Amino acid sequence: MFPTTLRDLVARVDARLGTRSEVDGDPAAELLGVTDRPGESQAHALCVLDDLRWLKRLRGTFGAVLTSRELAPQASALAPNRWLHPTPRLALAAVLEALLPPPPPPGVHPSAVLEPGAFIDPSAAVEALVSVHGTARVGARCHLRVGAVLGPGVAVGDDTVVGCRSVLSENVQVGQRCRIDAGAVLGARGFGFVPEGERASRWLPHRGGVVLEDDVWVGANATIAEGTLSPTVLRRGCRVDAQVHVGHNSEVGEGAFLAGQTGLAGSVTVGPGALLGGKVGVGDHLVLGAGARLAGGSGVTSDVPPGATFGGYPARPRAQWLRALAWLTREASRRRRG
C-alpha cells in the first residue's frame, strides 16, 4: 500500500469500506507509512487522531492526519493535510489490514501428521507439526499454524486461522472466518463432578462439544470447555480475549466482548452485545442480558438486566457501586481523624 499518495489511499479505503471521505489539503501528498510516534522521518507519514486524549502524544508534524470532521480544527496542528473520515478508527483498520502479510500458499508441510480419512481442502495451508485426526475436516483457504492439533470430529470452516499450538479437542465445530490464536484450547474437559462417598467424586463425562459460529475471535491461551450433553456455544462475531475461560454449557451471545482473564463458570448466558471488562468473574447459571456492561474486576453473583452497567464485588448497578465506594472512603477518613 505504501508508498502512495493521500488521494489514492483515501480512494482505496473508501472503496473497501463503502464510505465517503474528504481531503483537506494536498491530495497528491506522498505518504510512506502510518505511525503514532513523532520523529524526524514523519514528514511523509500518516497519523490518526480520533480522540483528543491522543493529541499530546502526537506532538510533531506529520505528512497527513486521519481524523473526523469534528476534530479537524485540533488536527490541523499535526499536519498540513487532513483526511476526514466518518469513523477514523475503522479507516485505520482498513489501512492496517492492507499491510498484513499475504496468506501462505496452499499445501501441507512434510512434518504434519494427517491420519487416514482426514479431509484437508486443497486450498488450505497446513504448517509444520500439525496433527489432524482421521475424522476431522478442514475447509477452503484455512490456515493451520505450527503445532495445531485437531481431534476427532472437528470441523473447521472456510477462511479460518488456527494458531500455533492451539488444540481443538473432540467434536469442536468452527465456523467460517474465525480466528483462534496461539495456545487456545477448545473442547477442554468440562469441570463437572458428582459426589461419591464422603471425600471422593466422580468426573461426569462431557460429550456436548463446542460450537463457534462464523466470525468468532478466540484469543491466545483462552479455554473453552466442552458441554455436558449440548455444546458450549460462541455466537457469531463474539470476541474472546486472551486467557479467558468459558465454562461448560455456557453461551456467549452475538457480538459480545469478553476482555482478558475474564472467567465464566458453567451454564452462564452472556447476551448479545454484552461487554465484560478484564478479570470479570461470573458465577454459574447466571444470565447477563443483551448489552449489559461489567466493569473490570467485577464479581457477578446474580443476573444482570439487559443494558445495565454493573461493577464491584458483588457486582451491583454502577451508581450504587460508586456511592458505596464514596461512603467507604468518607467513613475511613472520618475514623482516621478520630
Catalytic machinery residues: 248
Reported in sequence order, the residue ranges of 217-280 that DSSP labels E, i.e. its strands, are 217-218, 223-225, 232-234, 239-240, 245-246, 251-252, 257-258, 263-264, 269-270, 275-276
Task: Return d(Cα 156, Cα 177) in angstroms, integer.
Answer: 10
User: Residue type at 210?
Assistant: V
Distance CA 298, CA 279 (A): 7
What is the C-alpha separation between 59 and 78, in angstroms, rounded? 7
Burial grade of 330 (CB within 10 A; 0-12, 13-18, 19 or more): exposed
CB 234 within 8 A of CB 252: yes
- Sign, CA torsion 269/270/271/272: negative
Count CA atoms closer than 13 A to 180's CA, side-chain side: 38
Q: Is 297 exposed, middle or buried (0-12, 13-18, 19+ CB in 10 A)?
A: middle
Q: Say what angle helices 6-17 and 88-99 make with each other, to 10 degrees.
A: 100
Rg of the chain taking only CA atoms, in angstroms? 24
CB 62 within 8 A of CB 83: no
Asked whether 255 and 240 are in contact (CB, 8 A), the reply is no
d(CA 57, CA 78): 11
Question: Grid coordinates standing for 164?
Answer: 500455533
> How many angstroms separate the CA atoms of 296 and 314, rounded?
12
**Beta-bridge mates of residue 246:** 224, 264
